């Protein structure tokens, strides 16, 4: 299994500002994922972050709004830029373990709870 | 985008009863996973079932998968108040390199 930590665990921010969320994994992983969970909702995938390449964004999410860095195999950051109250959500990073060539269990960090005023 | 639809959206039962949640999805998958989330915290992985498996057990959990109907169910037996949480299914399809989550079921177990 993988142990994932995120910083900060929560934050309250003013609209128009930006927040960078860090995700640290205790082992090297190829693929990392960033999700958003709006209040009372399910998880929506923002982007997939692979080391050494540009992040792949899902429909409705753009790099200017959610720039992602992936400098090595254990670390990634997600920035929420020019925030508005609609960005208030829980942001979660995750990684996938692999076994025998199969995609296996997806592990999640504890999440970053963001409130934008 | 949501691949899975879960029902019921909310479920309230008495302690000791069984709870069943269902997940339906739209495309072929390689595996399906169930997760629990307590009150806005991180997700806890419960069980993974592969597309060539029909049933798996883990403690009080039983998961079934019917690929012909594109559906899965999660059964929690002898529920406890501590099982109160939201439960999500997530599907993985080879080549997409991503997991897609269902809408979730909010379970409340009354003591």
Shortest distance between the Cα of B50 and any Cα of chain A, in A, equals 9
Instruction: Calculate the CA dihedral of residues A57, A60, A64, A65 and round it to 10 degrees.
Output: -110
Among residues B91, B90, B89, B92, the alpha carbon closest in space to that of B105 is found at: B89
Q: A48 pLDDT band (50/70/90 cuts)?
A: very high
Distance CA A70, CA A73 (A): 7
For residue A96, what pLDDT band results from cuts at 50, 70 and 90?
confident
Per-residue pLDDT, averaged over A81-98, amounts to 92
Q: What is the pLDDT of residue B10?
A: 95
Q: Which residues of A touch B48 (CB under 8 A)?
A: 104-105
**Contact status, residue B106 vs residue B13, Cβ threshold 8 Å:** no
111 residues of chain B, pLDDT tens digit each = 456 788 899 999 999 999 999 999 998 999 999 999 998 678 999 999 999 999 999 999 999 999 999 999 999 999 999 999 999 999 988 777 788 899 999 999 998
Q: What's the rounded Cα separation, in Å, for the pair A70 and B55?
A: 37
Q: Is A92 on the interface with B (CB under 8 A)?
A: yes
**Interface size between A and B, measured as CB pairs under 8 A:** 62
A61 touches chain B (CB under 8 A): no
Q: Quick one: pLDDT at residue A84?
A: 97
Looking at residue A53, its pLDDT comes to 79
SS (H, E, C) chain B: CCCCEEECCEEEEECCCCEEEEEECCCCCCEEEEEEECCCCCEEEEEEEECCCCEEEECCEEEEEECCCCEEEEEECCCCHHHCEEEEEEEECCCCCCEEECCCEEEEEEC
A46, two tokens: 């923002």
User: In chain B, whose CA is at the least distance from the CA of A42?
Assistant: B103
**Contact by Cβ (8 Å): B84, B108:** yes
Q: Which residues contact B59 (CB under 8 A, 6 or more apart)?
A: none
Q: What is the pLDDT of residue A102?
A: 53
- Average pLDDT (A48-62) is 89
Would you call B94 an interface residue with chain A, using a CB distance cutoff of 8 Å? yes
Q: pLDDT tier at A50 (50, 70, 90 boundaries)?
A: confident
Contacting residues of B for A43, CB less than 8 Å apart: 43, 88, 90, 101
State residue B79's pLDDT score: 97
Please tell me which of the candidates A96, A102, A111 has its beta carbon nearest to residue B42.
A111
pLDDT score for A16: 97
| CB of B99 less than 8 A from some CB of A | yes
Check residue A83 and report its DSSP letter: -
């Amino acid at each position: 299994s993988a142990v994932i930590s995120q910083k900060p665990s929560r934050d309250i921010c003013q609209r128009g500002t930006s927040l960078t969320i860090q995700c640290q994994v205790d082992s090297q992983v190829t693929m990392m994922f960033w999700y958003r969970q709006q209040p009372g909702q399910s998880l929506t995938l923002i982007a997939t972050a692979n080391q050494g390449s540009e992040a792949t964004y899902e429909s409705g999410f753009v790099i200017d709004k959610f720039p992602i860095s992936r400098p090595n195999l254990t670390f990634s950051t997600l920035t929420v830029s020019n925030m508005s109250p609609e960005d208030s959500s829980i942001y979660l990073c995750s990684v996938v373990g692999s076994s025998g060539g199969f995609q296996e269990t997806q592990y999640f960090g504890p999440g970053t709870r963001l409130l934008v005023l | 985008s949501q691949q899975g639809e879960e029902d019921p959206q909310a479920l309230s039962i008495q302690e000791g009863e069984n709870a069943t949640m269902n997940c339906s999805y739209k495309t072929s998958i390689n595996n399906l996973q169930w997760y629990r989330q307590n009150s806005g915290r991180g997700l806890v992985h419960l069980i993974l079932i592969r597309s060539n498996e029909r049933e798996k057990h883990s403690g009080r959990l039983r998961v079934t998968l019917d690929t012909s109907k594109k559906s899965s169910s999660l059964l929690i037996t002898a529920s406890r108040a501590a099982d109160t949480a939201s439960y999500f299914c997530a599907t993985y399809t080879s080549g997409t390199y991503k997991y897609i989550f269902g809408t979730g079921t909010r379970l409340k177990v009354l003591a």
